Amino acid sequence: MARRRGFQVGVAAALVAGLFTLGFAVSAADVTMSGSTTVLPIAQAVAEAYAGIYEIEVSGGGSGVGITNLIDGTTMICDSSRALKAEEYVAAVAKGVYPMMWYVANDALSPIVHPSNPVSNLTIDQLRQIYTGEVTNWSQVGGANIPILVVSRDSSSGTYGSWSDLILKGAAVTTEAVYTSSNADVANEVASNPNAIGYVGLGYLNASVRAVAVNGILATVQTALDRTFPIARPLLMVTNGFPTGKVFDVLMWILSDDGQRLVLEMGFAPIRALP
Amino acid sequence: MRRPARALRDDGTAGPPLDLRPIRKAGLRGLITILKERWDRPVFLALASVSLIALGLILFFIFREAAPILRETGLSGFFGTHWNPTGSPASYGALPMIAGSALVTVAALVLAIPLGFAAAAFIAEVAPRWMKDVAKSILELLAGVPSVIYGFFGLMIVAPAFQRAFGLSTGRTALTASVILGIMALPTIASLAEDALTAVPNSYREASMALGASRWQTIRRVTFPAAFSGLIGAAILGMGRAVGETMAVLMVAGNAPQITASLLRPVRTLTSAIALEMGETAMGSTHYHALFALGVVLLIIALVTNGLAEWFRGRLARKHGR
C-alpha cells in the first residue's frame, strides 16, 4: 500500500513538473518589446514594418512592467515614457542588468477640453491651479459659468509623471479629479463632457476634443519637435547594455529617417527635423 | 503488517484482495500494466494539485511582496487617509480605497439583494415550469456577460444618464459603479437564493398551505425563514462578487482616492487602484509593496466572505438533513 501511494505521488509530481515546464516555455521571437502604452503604437508599427524580416513580439503593460521585464530578462527592449527611477537602476544593477536609454521620439502633452468650451488658451499657472483645485469654475479662466471637472491619468503612469513634473511641480491633484486608465479614455470623457479638462499625448488629439494652447502655443508635431511647446517629453526605449545583433538593427532602424517617418505617421514628433 | 491491496467496487467499498504477484514478477512490463490500469488516480491527483499549488503560490507571493510595507510605512501609515503614492512626500494610506470599496459594495447590495431574492422567490415558488426554465437561463446569460461589456454599458449609457439626471459634473461616480455592480451580482444572488429556497422540503409548504396560509404568507413566514442561512450565504457570495469586480468598476467609478459617503462623487476601489497603478509602478518600490498590501486586504475580504458563505450554506444543508 505504502509503495503504491509513493508510486502515485511520483507520477503526479512528474506530471505537475511537466505542466509547469510547459507553461514557462520561452517565446521564439527574434526581438521582444514591452512596456509603456504611450510608446506601444510606435512599437507595433515597427513590428509591422519588420514583418517577414524579423519576428518582433510587442506587448504593453506600462513603463513599470517593461522595466521589470527588462530586469528579469523576459524582454529585450523596454518601451518607456519616463526615465528610469533610482530604485529601478539599483534593482537592475543588482541583477547584472545595465539599462541603456535610447531617445526614440518626442511627445507633447496637450490640454484638451470639450469642443463647445470657449477657452482656447491657458497659462501653465492656470493649468496648475485647475489641477490642484484652486480654480474650480471655468468662468475664473475666461469660460462659461460651469464647474471644472479635472480628468487625469492614474498617478503612476508615465503620462501623469510628465504632467506632474511640468505642471504640478510636486503638488497633489485635487481629490475631486476623475482618474482614467488610458489616454483614449481621457479623450473619451472630455469629448462627452462640457465641464471636463484633460491631457493627452499628441497621437490622441482628434476632432472630438479641442486642444488648448499653453502660454499661447498649440501642441503640434512642429512645436513638440522644436521644443517650443512647454509640456513636451521624450519617449524612450531601454536595452540591457549596448545592444547587439537583431536588437541593434531594430533600434538603428527606428532612429533612421525611415523609422522617424514612421514615428511621425503614428502621431508623435520625430527626434530631429526630417529631410 | 501490510494490508493487501484491494480493488474498489463501484459503490466504493473494498473488494477482494488483488493478486499483485504476477505484476511484481514481470518488472517493467508489470509497471506498464499498472500504468495502463491505474493511470487515473495519479493523473487526477496531479490535476487537482495544480490548482492547490497555484493557490499556495499566489498566497505566498502576495504576502511576500506586501510584507515590506509594514517596515516602510508601518500599519498606521498604511491605514492612513491619504493616498498619493507619487507625490512628495508620498503617502500610502489605504483607507480611501477601503471606504470606496465598502461604499460601492453596500450600495450594490442594497440594489441586488431585494431584486435577487424576489427573482429567486419567483423562480422557486411562483413561476410555472416553462417560465422557470426561461428565467433561469436568462440569469445564467446575465452571469456570462464579460465584465468589460458591463463597464462599457455603464460608461456609454448609465454614466451620461446619471450626469444629466443629477446635474453632476461627471457621470463617473460611486452610484454608477454600484448600479453596474448590482446588476453583475444579481445572477449570483438570485441563483444561489433559488437553490436555498428549492432546498426547503415541500412538506413545509404543504403544511403551511394546509393550515390555510396564502402563497405570499407561506413564502414570507415559512420558506424564507427555513432557507434563511442559505439566503444569507447567497447575499455574502454576491458581496464577494461585487468586492472583487475590477474592470467594470475601473471604467465607471471615476477612481478619485477620496473618502466620501456621497454616492454622487467619484471613488476608487481596492481592485481598481491595483489595476490602475500596477502597470506603471517601479518593481520593489514602496508604492509597489503598498499595491500588494491592497491585494492582501482584498484577499482577506474574499477568504472571509467565502468562508462565511460556505458556513451559512452548510448550516442550511445540515438543517434539512442533507
List chain A domain ranges. 30-106+234-265, 107-225
Structural domain for B244, as ranges: 83-319
pLDDT score at A62: 81
One domain, residues B88 and B27: no
Under 8 Å between Cβ of B256 and B176: no
SS3 label, residue B112: helix
Q: Which residues of B touch A4 (CB under 8 A)?
A: 5
Phi first, then psi: give them for residue B92, nearest 5 degrees: -125, 40
Mean pLDDT of B134-142: 90
**pLDDT top residue among B252 and B28:** B252
pLDDT score at A12: 66
What share of chain B has pLDDT > 70, as a percent? 91
One domain, residues B313 and B242: yes
Q: List the single residue in A68, A164, A180 with the smallest CB-CB distance to B86.
A: A164
pLDDT score at B165: 92
Residue of chain A nearest B280, judged by CA positions: A64
| Position B9 pLDDT exceeds 90 | no
Residue of chain B nearest A172, judged by CA positions: B87
What share of chain A has pLDDT > 90, as a percent? 54
One domain, residues B123 and B20: no
pLDDT in tens, A216-246: 999 999 999 888 999 988 999 999 999 999 9
- Nearest-neighbour CA in chain B from A33: distance (Å): 15
| Position A1 pLDDT exceeds 60 | no
**Residue B5 pLDDT level (bands cut at 50, 70, 90):** low
Mean pLDDT of B92-96: 92
pLDDT score at B321: 58
| Position B3 pLDDT exceeds 60 | no
**pLDDT top residue among B7 and B131:** B131
SS3 label, residue A107: strand
| Beta-carbon pairs below 8 A across chains A and B | 136
pLDDT score at A165: 86
**Residue B161 pLDDT level (bands cut at 50, 70, 90):** very high
Cα–Cα distance between B224 and B113 in angstroms, integer? 14
Of the segments B84-88, B303-307, B310-314, which one has the largest average pLDDT value?
B303-307
pLDDT score at A173: 87
Give which of A134, A143, A121 is closest to A195, Cα–Cα: A143
**Range name among B85-89, B206-210, B261-265 with the lowest pLDDT average:** B85-89
pLDDT in tens, A76-102: 999 998 888 888 899 899 999 999 999
CATH for A107-225, among 3.10.100.10, 3.40.50.880, 2.30.30.180, 3.40.190.10?
A: 3.40.190.10
**Residue B234 pLDDT level (bands cut at 50, 70, 90):** very high
**Count of structural domains within chain B:** 2
- Nearest-neighbour CA in chain A from B301: distance (Å): 25
Mean pLDDT of B185-189: 94
Decide if B57 is inside a domain.
no
CATH for A30-106+234-265, among 3.30.450.20, 3.40.190.10, 3.30.70.270, 3.40.190.80?
A: 3.40.190.10
Tell if the CB–CB gap between B3 and A172 is shorter than 8 Å: no
In whole angstroms, how far apart are CA B176 and each of A194, B254, B275? 19, 9, 19
| Position A70 pLDDT exceeds 80 | yes
Mean pLDDT of B267-294: 88
Residue of chain A nearest B6, judged by CA positions: A1
Q: Which B-chain residues 78-117 have CB contacts (< 8 A) with chain A? A: 84-88
Q: Which residues of A touch B155 (CB under 8 A)?
A: 188
pLDDT score at B187: 93
Cα–Cα distance between B126 and A86 in angstroms, integer? 66
| Position B304 pLDDT exceeds 60 | yes
pLDDT score at A82: 86
pLDDT score at B1: 45
Q: Which residues of B touch A189 (CB under 8 A)?
A: 170, 172
Tell if the CB–CB gap between A172 and B87 is shorter than 8 Å: yes
How many Cβ atoms from other residues are within 10 Å of residue B82's Cβ?
18
Cα–Cα distance between B95 and B76 in angstroms, integer? 11
Rg for chain B, CA atoms, rounded: 26
Tell if the CB–CB gap between A178 and B85 is shorter than 8 Å: no
Tell if the CB–CB gap between B277 and A195 is shorter than 8 Å: no
Mean pLDDT of chain B: 87
One domain, residues B273 and B196: yes
Residue of chain B nearest A182, judged by CA positions: B276
Give which of B177, B175, B182, B162 is closest to B108, Cα–Cα: B182
- Nearest-neighbour CA in chain B from A86: distance (Å): 10
Decide if B28 is inside a domain.
yes
Helix (H) or strand (E) holding A18: helix A2-23
How far does Cα B191 stand from its chain's mean position?
A: 13
| Position A3 pLDDT exceeds 60 | no
Tell if the CB–CB gap between A158 and B285 is shorter than 8 Å: no
Tell if the CB–CB gap between B256 and A175 is shorter than 8 Å: yes
Q: List the single residue in A12, A67, A178 with the smallest CB-CB distance to B256.
A: A178
**Residue A60 pLDDT level (bands cut at 50, 70, 90):** confident
Would you say the CATH fold of A107-225 matches that of A30-106+234-265? Answer: yes
Decide if B311 is inside a domain.
yes
- Nearest-neighbour CA in chain A from B212: distance (Å): 58
One domain, residues B16 and B134: no
**pLDDT top residue among B17 and B301:** B301
**Residue B4 pLDDT level (bands cut at 50, 70, 90):** low
Tell if the CB–CB gap between A1 and B258 is shorter than 8 Å: no
| CATH code assigned at B280 | 1.10.3720.10
Q: Is B165 exposed, middle or buried (0-12, 13-18, 19+ CB in 10 A)?
A: exposed
pLDDT score at B42: 80
- Residue among B55, B280, B287, B288 with most chain A CBs within 10 A, to mutate: B280
| Position B322 pLDDT exceeds 60 | no
pLDDT score at B276: 87
Q: Which amino acid is at B269?
A: T
Mean pLDDT of B247-256: 91
Mean pLDDT of chain A: 87
Q: List the single residue in A8, A156, A188 with the smallest CB-CB distance to B42.
A: A8
Mean pLDDT of B42-68: 90
Decide if B50 is inside a domain.
no
Half-sphere exposure for B92 (CA within 13 Å, toward CB): 25
Q: Which B-chain residues 132-171 have CB contacts (< 8 A) with chain A? A: 155, 160, 163, 169-170
pLDDT score at A11: 67
B64: which DSSP letter? Answer: H
Cell numbers representing residue B276 in the block: 490602475
pLDDT score at B48: 86
Q: Which residues of A touch B86 (CB under 8 A)?
A: 155-156, 160-161, 164
Q: Which residues of B touch A177 (CB under 8 A)?
A: 256, 266
